[in-house]
Each structure stands twice: as C-alpha cells, then as structure tokens.
C-alpha cells in the first residue's frame, strides 16, 4: 500500500496543455483556410500561447512542491517543456504572418497547418492516456508518421518556392514560414519521445 499518495494534478495540467495546443491549431487552420481577420486570429493564438506559458509554470511549480510524482520528475519536466515548445511554434508561425505582412497563404502552408492540427489531435488522445502508459505507444507511432509527412511537405514547398518565385524576399519569407510550421511537428515528435519513455518505464 502506498502511504504517501502520488499527486494526480499533473495529469489535469498536461491535459490542459494539450487541449490548449489543439484549440490554437484549430485557429491556425481556420486562419490559413480563410485568410480574413488575420490580426484577430493571430491575437487569439497569442492568447493561447500566454495561457500555455501559465500552465507550464504551474507544472514546474507543482513539480517543485510535490514529494511523490506520478512518474519520473525529469519526464514531467521534459513533457511539459516539449508541449510548451509546440505551442510556441504554432504562435511563431501565426505571428510571422503579421511580421512579414503576408497577403495570401500558399496551399503548402495550409497543408502543413492541417498536419499540425492532426498532430495536436493525436497529442490530446495520447496525453489523456497518461494514467495507462502502455496505451500511449500507438499514438507515439502516429506522431512519428505526422513528423515524417510534415518534413516531406516542407521539402516540396521549398522546392516549389525556388522554382516559381522570382523575388528573393518572398523566398526568404516563405522558406522561414514553412520551416517554423514544420518545426511544430518536430516538437510533437519530441513529446512522443517523452511519452514513449514514460510508457517503457512503466512496463
């Protein structure tokens, strides 16, 4: 019998982090599909990013205050940090639309945003299974596939950019946007790596 209970509040905070990412990814896709009210949509994502920072701080504070954690302390820290990185990159991609005064969204950028949304949906499902770590591994594989798909799309987008665009500034601008979008799925894979480690340690 466990005399000192493990603090389960971490599960709620992780679920909140994942849901926040998913909601921001939804807004990103809406923005990219219907390129209207750009500043409003970007501001909504910025609010989500600030909320994500607050949740991350709550996880770290809780970690410092908790004697017995539901799984390894270093994995709790790594998971929260990786989730925060995903949110930061969704925000970074949206913010660049304002910074670079983007007037339209390319089909490739929309494809990448769609992949981010699918990745965020898988994150929500995976995080919801943290109390049953062995159920997570199937989602880890899906996140790895998402990252590979995103990397392929980014490569195709950049190749087309160099083939079609004659303006160096447009090439520089869109190349960075594609790379930031793809980096968000890279961070989803980082989340996957931590979740896989948690699952393996619980076996």
Instruction: Say yes or no to pLDDT of 10 above 60.
Output: yes
| CATH code, 148 | 1.20.58.220
Q: Note whether residue 23 is domain-resident.
A: yes
Q: Note whether residue 2 is domain-resident.
A: no
N- to C-terminal Cα separation, the chain: 19
C-alpha–C-alpha distance, residues 56 and 135, integer Å: 24
User: What are the residue ranges of helices labelled H in 66-167?
Assistant: 73-99, 107-128, 137-164
Question: Percent of the chain beyond pLDDT 90?
Answer: 84
Q: Note whether residue 21 is domain-resident.
A: yes
Instruction: Say yes or no to pLDDT of 7 above 70.
Output: no
- Give the chain's domain count: 1
pLDDT at 202: 81
- Please compute the mean of the pLDDT values over residues 165-183 and round it to a whole number: 93
Whether residue 126 contacts residue 139, with contact meaning beta carbons closer than 8 Å, is answered with yes
Residues found in the chain: 203
Q: Note whether residue 134 is domain-resident.
A: yes
Query: pLDDT category, 5, cuts 50, 70, 90?
Result: very low
Does the predicted TM-score (pTM) go above 0.85? yes
Question: Percent of the chain beyond pLDDT 70?
Answer: 96
Per-residue model confidence as pLDDT tens digits over 32-60: 999 989 999 999 999 999 999 999 999 99
Instruction: Say yes or no to pLDDT of 3 above 70.
Output: no
Q: Note whether residue 91 is domain-resident.
A: yes
Per-residue model confidence as pLDDT tens digits over 105-154: 999 999 999 999 999 999 999 999 998 888 899 999 999 999 999 999 99
Q: Which residue segment(s) compose the domain that 34 sits in?
A: 9-202
Q: Note whether residue 1 is domain-resident.
A: no
How far is Cα of residue 42 from the mean position of the Cα atoms in its chain? 16
Which distant-in-sequence residues (6+ apart) come within 8 Å of 12 by Cβ? Answer: none
Q: Note whether residue 183 is domain-resident.
A: yes
Instruction: Say yes or no to pLDDT of 22 above 60.
Output: yes
Q: Note whether residue 141 is domain-resident.
A: yes
């Amino acid at each position: 019998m466990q005399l000192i209970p493990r603090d389960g509040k971490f599960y709620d905070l992780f679920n909140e982090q994942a849901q926040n990412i998913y909601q921001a990814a939804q807004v990103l896709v809406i923005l990219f599909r219907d390129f209207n009210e750009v500043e409003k949509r970007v501001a909504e994502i910025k609010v989500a990013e600030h909320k994500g920072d607050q949740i991350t701080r709550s996880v770290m504070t809780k970690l410092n205050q908790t004697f017995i954690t539901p799984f390894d302390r270093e994995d709790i820290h790594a998971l929260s940090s990786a989730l925060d990185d995903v949110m930061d990159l969704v925000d970074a991609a949206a913010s660049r639309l304002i910074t670079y005064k983007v007037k339209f969204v390319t089909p490739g950028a929309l494809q990448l945003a769609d992949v981010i949304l699918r990745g965020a949906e898988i994150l929500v499902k995976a995080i919801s299974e943290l109390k049953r770590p062995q159920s997570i591994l199937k989602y880890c594989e899906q996140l790895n596939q998402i990252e590979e798909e995103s990397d392929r799309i980014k490569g195709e987008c950049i190749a087309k950019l160099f083939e079609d665009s004659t303006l160096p500034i447009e090439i520089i601008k869109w190349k960075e946007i594609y790379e930031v979008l793809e980096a968000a799925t890279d961070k989803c894979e980082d989340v996957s790596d931590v979740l896989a480690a948690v699952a393996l340690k619980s076996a």
